[in-house]
C-alpha cells in the first residue's frame, strides 16, 4: 500500500492581489457551486485509480478556499473520505485568508476533520499589506487567528513575506516579532517574486524594493530569529515547532505520490506527471468527458500524462530533496535508481563541497548556510544538460 497526498485547488479570491500570478479570480456564488460539483465528480471518478493507496494528507489550497461556504468544504472532504482509503491519522489543511472565515466556519472545519489551518498574513504592517493589494489588515488577521484558536485549531501556519515594496529590515523584524508572540506552530517565509504582467510589476518604479542584499539579510534574520524562538527551519522557507513540519509539503519535496484535483492542479504518481487544464471551460470538458467509474483507468487517461525519464527523476530527487534541511539520503538514491549517487553526481558533489555549498553528514547530502543563500545555483548544478 502506497501513501497518497491529495491537493484540491479552489481558484477563487475576493479580488486579485497586486503581485499575484496564481490561478485565482473573483467568482459568483453560482460559479463556485458549479465548480465544486465538478470537483466532486473528479474526486469520485478518479478514486478507482488509487485502490492501492491510502491517503495521508489532504490540502485545500488556492486561491482562497475559505471563501467557499463551509458546507461545500464539508462536502468535498466527505467525498474524499467516502471514496478513498484514509490513513489513521490524516493531516488535513485548509488555506484561509484573514476575514474570510468567521468563528462558525472555523468550528465547522474542525467538525469536518480539518486539523491544520494555514493563514495568509504576509505582513503585520498595514501599509505593506495595502501596497501589495491584500484585502485584510493586521487587526482582521488577529480576529481570524483568535477565532481559529477558540474553534480548537492546535496546528496553525502563518505565511509571511519578505522583500515587499517599501519594507525595511526593521519592519520585517517587527512582523517576525509580532507573529512569534502569537505562538503559531508553523511559519512560512517567502520572498516576494515580482512577476511580469502583474499590476505590481507595472508599478515597480513607484516603490523602493529591498535590494538583493537586504533580501538576503532578511532571510538570514528569519532563520536566526525564528531559531531563537524555537522554530526549526526544515525547508529553505519553512519553519516549525517540533512535530509540526507540514507533512503534505514534505511529500512534494520527497517525491511521494500526490494527486491534484481541480483547475490547473498538478499530480505525480509513480513518476508519472500530469496537470489539469488551466481554463475553466477545458477543465469542465475534461470532467464531463470522464467515465463515471472505470476499473481499469490508467494514467494515460490524464491530460498531458508524462512518464519522467530516469534522469529527470534523479534531477528532481536532488533539487527537491536539497530544499529540505535534512537533505537527500544517498542510500535511498542508490536503491531507487540502482546506481550510486556518487557515480552519477560525484564531480558535482565534489565541486559544491569544495565551494562550501553542500556538506555530507551521516550518509546524507545537505545545503550549508552559504548553499542556502545561493540555492538556485546549487540546484541547477544537479540538472543534466
Ligand atoms: S489571496 Fe493569494 S491567490 Fe488570492 S489573489 Fe491574493 S495572492 Fe493571489
Q: Please name every residue paired with 272 in a beta bridge, in sequence order, or none if there are none.
A: 269, 307
**Amino acid 385: pLDDT:** 76
Instruction: Take residue 64 and report the three cell numbers written for it.
Output: 482562497
CA–centroid distance, 351 to ligand 1, in Å, is: 40
Strands 86-96 and 53-62: parallel
140-150: pLDDT as tens digits: 999 999 999 99
Same domain, 29 and 177: yes
210-223: pLDDT as tens digits: 998 898 899 999 99
CA–centroid distance, 63 to ligand 1, in Å, is: 5
Q: Is the model's pLDDT at 252 over the cut of 60?
A: yes
Q: Are the beta carbons of 247 and 91 closer than 8 angstroms?
A: yes
**Amino acid 294: pLDDT:** 56
Q: Is residue 287 part of a domain?
A: no
Q: Is the model's pLDDT at 335 over the cut of 70?
A: yes
For a substitution probing ligand 1, which of 10, 14, 18, 22 has the most ligand atoms within 8 Å of its CB? 22
Q: What is the pTM of this model?
A: 0.95
Q: Is the model's pLDDT at 125 over the cut of 90?
A: yes
Of 252, 270, 285, the domain-final residue: 252
Q: Is residue 91 part of a domain?
A: yes
Ligand 1 atom at shortest distance from the alpha carbon of 134: 6
Q: Is the model's pLDDT at 61 over the cut of 80?
A: yes
Same domain, 34 and 174: yes
Query: Can you give the CATH number for the domain in which 7 is found?
Result: 3.20.20.70
CA–centroid distance, 67 to ligand 1, in Å, is: 12
Closest-CA residue, ligand 1 atom 7, reads 20
Same domain, 96 and 167: yes
Same domain, 30 and 113: yes
Q: Is the model's pLDDT at 293 over the cut of 60?
A: no
362-377: pLDDT as tens digits: 999 999 999 998 999 9
Ligand 1 atom at shortest distance from the alpha carbon of 133: 6
**Amino acid 289: pLDDT:** 87
Q: What is the DSSP letter of 355?
A: T
Same domain, 201 and 57: yes
Closest-CA residue, ligand 1 atom 2, reads 63
Domain span at residue 162 reads 2-252
**Amino acid 363: pLDDT:** 95
Same domain, 228 and 342: no
Q: Is residue 140 part of a domain?
A: yes
Same domain, 229 and 356: no
Q: Is residue 112 part of a domain?
A: yes
Q: How many domains does the chain have?
A: 2
Q: Is residue 115 part of a domain?
A: yes
CA–centroid distance, 313 to ligand 1, in Å, is: 31
- Pocket lining for ligand 1, CB < 6 angstroms: 13, 16-17, 20, 22, 24, 62-64, 97, 120
Ligand 1 atom at shortest distance from the alpha carbon of 97: 1
Of 252, 267, 297, the domain-final residue: 252
Q: What is the DSSP letter of 208?
A: P
Same domain, 342 and 218: no
**pLDDT, mean of residues 292-315:** 82
Q: Is residue 283 part of a domain?
A: no
Query: Can you give the CATH number for the domain in which 342 is found?
Result: 1.10.10
Q: Is residue 138 part of a domain?
A: yes
Same domain, 216 and 318: no
Same domain, 178 and 320: no
CA–centroid distance, 159 to ligand 1, in Å, is: 12
Of 233, 252, 271, the domain-final residue: 252
Q: What is the DSSP letter of 322?
A: T
**Amino acid 101: pLDDT:** 96
Same domain, 246 and 343: no
**pLDDT, mean of residues 162-177:** 96
pLDDT top residue among 1 and 56: 56
**Amino acid 240: pLDDT:** 98
Same domain, 221 and 317: no
Which percentage of the chain shows pLDDT scores above 70? 98
**Amino acid 296: pLDDT:** 60
For a substitution probing ligand 1, which of 120, 159, 193 has the most ligand atoms within 8 Å of its CB? 120
Q: Is the model's pLDDT at 235 over the cut of 70?
A: yes
Q: Is residue 272 part of a domain?
A: no
Ligand 1 atom at shortest distance from the alpha carbon of 24: 3
**Amino acid 112: pLDDT:** 98
Q: Find how far residue 221's CA is from the centre of its chain.
A: 22
**Amino acid 325: pLDDT:** 97
316-325: pLDDT as tens digits: 999 999 999 9
Task: Annotate 210-267 with DSSP letters as a single string.
Answer: PPHHHHHHHHHHHHHHHHHTT-EEEETTEEESTT-S-HHHHHHHTT-EEEEESTT-EE
Amino acid at each position: 500500500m502506497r501513501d497518497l497526498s491529495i491537493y484540491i485547488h479552489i481558484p477563487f479570491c475576493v479580488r486579485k492581489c497586486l503581485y499575484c500570478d496564481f490561478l485565482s479570480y473573483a467568482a459568483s456564488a453560482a460559479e463556485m457551486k458549479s465548480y465544486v460539483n465538478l470537483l466532486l465528480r473528479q474526486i469520485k471518478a478518479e478514486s478507482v485509480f488509487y485502490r492501492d493507496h491510502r491517503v495521508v494528507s489532504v490540502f485545500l489550497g488556492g486561491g482562497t478556499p475559505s471563501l467557499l461556504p463551509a458546507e461545500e468544504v464539508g462536502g468535498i472532504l466527505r467525498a474524499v473520505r467516502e471514496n478513498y482509503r484514509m490513513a489513521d491519522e490524516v493531516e488535513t489543511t485548509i488555506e484561509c485568508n484573514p476575514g474570510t472565515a468567521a468563528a462558525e466556519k472555523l468550528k465547522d472545519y474542525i467538525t469536518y476533520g480539518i486539523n491544520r489551518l494555514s493563514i495568509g498574513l504576509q505582513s503585520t504592517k498595514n501599509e505593506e499589506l495595502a501596497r501589495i493589494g491584500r484585502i485584510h489588515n493586521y487587526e482582521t488577521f488577529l480576529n481570524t487567528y483568535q477565532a481559529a484558536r477558540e474553534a480548537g485549531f492546535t496546528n496553525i501556519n502563518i505565511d509571511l513575506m519578505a522583500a515587499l515594496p517599501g519594507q525595511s529590515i526593521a519592519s520585517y523584524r517587527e512582523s517576525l516579532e509580532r507573529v512569534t508572540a502569537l505562538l503559531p506552530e508553523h511559519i512560512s517565509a517567502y520572498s516576494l517574486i515580482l512577476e511580469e504582467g502583474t499590476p505590481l510589476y507595472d508599478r515597480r518604479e513607484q516603490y523602493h524594493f529591498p535590494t538583493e542584499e537586504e533580501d538576503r539579510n532578511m532571510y538570514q534574520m528569519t532563520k536566526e530569529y525564528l531559531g531563537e524562538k524555537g522554530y526549526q527551519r526544515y525547508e529553505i522557507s519553512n519553519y516549525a515547532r517540533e512535530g509540526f513540519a507540514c507533512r503534505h509539503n514534505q511529500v512534494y519535496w520527497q517525491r511521494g505520490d500526490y494527486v491534484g484535483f481541480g483547475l490547473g492542479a498538478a499530480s505525480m504518481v509513480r513518476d508519472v506527471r500530469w496537470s489539469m487544464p488551466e481554463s475553466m471551460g477545458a477543465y469542465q470538458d475534461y470532467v464531463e468527458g470522464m467515465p463515471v467509474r472505470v476499473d481499469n483507468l490508467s494514467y494515460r487517461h490524464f491530460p498531458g500524462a508524462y512518464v519522467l525519464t530516469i534522469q529527470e527523476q534523479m534531477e528532481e530527487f536532488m533539487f527537491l530533496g536539497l530544499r529540505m534541511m535534512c537533505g537527500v539520503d544517498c542510500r535511498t538514491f542508490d536503491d531507487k535508481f540502482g546506481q550510486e549517487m556518487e557515480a552519477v553526481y560525484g564531480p558535482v558533489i565534489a565541486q559544491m563541497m569544495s565551494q562550501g555549498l553542500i556538506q555530507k553528514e551521516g550518509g546524507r547530502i545537505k545545503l550549508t548556510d552559504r548553499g542556502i543563500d545561493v540555492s538556485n545555483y546549487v540546484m541547477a548544478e544537479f540538472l543534466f544538460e
